[in-house]
Amino acid sequence: MTPIPGKQKKIVVLGGLNMDLIVDTPRPAGPGETTEGTRFYTTPGGKGGNQAVAAGRLSQPGSVEMVGRVGADSYGREMTEYLNASGVGTRYLRQDSTTSSGVAVIFVDATGQNYVNAVYGANARCDAHQAADATQAMQGAGALLAQQEVPLEATFEAMKSARRLGVTVVLDPAPARPKLPDGFLQLADILTPNQTEAEALAGFPVVDAASARKAARAIKELGVPGVIVKMGELGAWVEVGGLSQHFAAFKVPVVATVGAGDAFNGGLAAGIAQGMPFGDAVWLAMAAGAMSVTKAGAQESMPTREAVERLLRKQGARR
């Protein structure tokens, strides 16, 4: 694995920040039913925040900037402090006094699977200010991480700026949106859907490496330059540039899958910004995602560079 170089390019993250309210339970309650959980706790989350922390812990200090909005409340202050403690810059994180910070209620079942209901709050007020902030932050950057938690217009404009500036765009097409602006997905250099999202885009089930390859190629035919289909314990199918390959998952004990896909995206951006060969960047992402499922929480589960390197040495990057 290529070490962090003496100087890496910046990573800019435009996306949502939510305070996660997490309930561990043997199983989520069904309609009209009450079930008893085993634990409740809060932790900073949101796909944008998660990916920023993941990238921050795998990069040189000061290499990652977060762009977004939080409320003028205790959750907003806590999330900002957590980003700072994780090495993420917050000068482009605006405080909105007109609404609350975003929250997400997450149920984690006995298998580690998670079920999420979010109320986006201040995230939903991201607008042209965030697009402008992202554009300013991207001067000299190597990667833009984006998702679909904040209003798509802001993300769309930021991706347009990234294309003009030559910044690699890694887009997580989650949460799913019923309608996307024309040309939205095509501005992503690398699209990283999970199985469910890949199924929705390709129009057929994704259940294994073969169907993931077929889905990735179908999505590329929509005009998306590169696609990585994330499949959890089944690994990932990568269809980017000249690389067409299945990357097998690392074998680790699973505590909770909250944030695993975000850890992957953060690791991928870190590898890209550090100038790694693309296959190595994917292995870094795979290891980051694997390590994240060994701990509870969202941002709390994002691994350090040392932990990821240990996993890579122990199990080996299977090139």
Annotated active-site positions, please? Answer: 262
* Contact (Cβ atoms closer than 8 angstroms) between residue 253 and residue 294: yes
What CA–CA distance (Å, rounded) separates 19 from 8?
30
Count of all residues that appear for the chain in the document: 319
What CA–CA distance (Å, rounded) separates 139 from 150?
22
Name the burial class of residue 182, with classes exposed (0-12), middle (13-18) and buried (19+) by CB atoms within 10 angstroms of its CB: exposed
Nearest residue to 264 via CA among 282, 298, 240, 289: 289
The torsion angles phi and psi of 154, rounded to 5 degrees, stand at -65, -45
Residue where the block lists tokens 């706790």: 41
Q: How many alpha carbons lie under 13 Å from residue 221 in its C-beta half-sphere?
A: 9
Nearest residue to 169 via CA among 191, 144, 194, 142: 144
